Amino acid sequence: MGSTGEQPVYSIGAVAHMLEVPASTLRAWEERYGVVVPTRSGGSQRLYSRNQLELLRFVKRKIDSGMSAADAHRVLSQELELGRLPTDTEPEAEELRPLILIAERDSYAAQLSEYFLRTEGYQVATALDAIQARLQFEERSPDLVVLDLLISGGAGFRLCREFTARVGTRVLALSALDSAEEALQAGASAFLNKPIEPLQLVSTVRDLMGTSALARSAGKAASKARVK
């Protein structure tokens, strides 16, 4: 299941982070039950589509409610056989305006992405070249970087490695080229092909932010309150 052309591509580390389960558990589920099987890159990396992420969320909710992993996968398999695709419909926690840095070579694309992300309630900073991106990253400490890999003539791969070297930073890599495997190897948590559909961008960002970004934002707010 899943292609890199129309869906975001997530690394196993990103999926493990979003579901709050070890990557070894995801591998065990795949091998034992064979219901959610990611595609493999040329370098044998597991590549999960957003549909697969939703299916794994369904499994995780069933397990959290007291069901065994085996039973959760059996229920999922039955749902799929009936032509139903379970989705994650649980209400989300109130957002505390996490910060997203958009590092994009196309100013129009940057403005469009900023508009849709601000509409969703996020704070947004933008950079149109690698130098601005580094400065914004150091000054603002964003929760997530939406990074065009071809920014400043292809400097995005180097930026991706630099940004993800900081613990807790996630990168959503974008490119008009089919660079999913290279992006994940450089440390990106997910990859989208350009041109980007706004709703797909928003949904992918929401997937990657999860609850950890909310906790981080709450921590920042609490720290500021203590300083005052």
Q: What is the pLDDT of residues 27-41, one digit of tens each?
A: 999 999 999 999 988
Q: What does the mean pLDDT of the chain come to? A: 84
Q: What is the pLDDT of residues 131-148, one digit of tens each?
A: 999 999 998 899 999 999
Q: What is the pLDDT of residues 218-228, one digit of tens each?
A: 444 444 444 44
CATH of region 99-227: 3.40.50.2300
Q: What is the pTM of this model?
A: 0.67
pLDDT higher than threshold 60 for residue 94 = no
Average pLDDT in the 176-196 region?
Answer: 94
Q: Does domain 9-81 have CATH number 1.10.1040.10?
A: no
Average pLDDT in the 181-201 region?
Answer: 94
pLDDT higher than threshold 70 for residue 191 = yes
Structure tokens at 150: 């071809």
Which amino acid makes up residue 179?
S
Q: Which residues contact 181 (CB under 8 A, 6 or more apart)?
A: 41, 42, 43, 45, 47
Average pLDDT in the 112-135 region?
Answer: 92
Strands 39-40 vs 190-193: parallel, antiparallel or unpaired:
unpaired
For residues 106 and 30, give the distance between their C-alpha atoms in angstroms, rounded to a whole number.
39
Tell me the domain boundaries of the chain. 9-81, 99-227
pLDDT higher than threshold 80 for residue 125 = yes
Residue 90: predicted pLDDT: 45
Is the distance from CB of 171 to CB of 180 less than 8 angstroms?
no
Residue 86: predicted pLDDT: 67
For residues 109 and 55, give the distance between their C-alpha atoms in angstroms, rounded to a whole number.
31
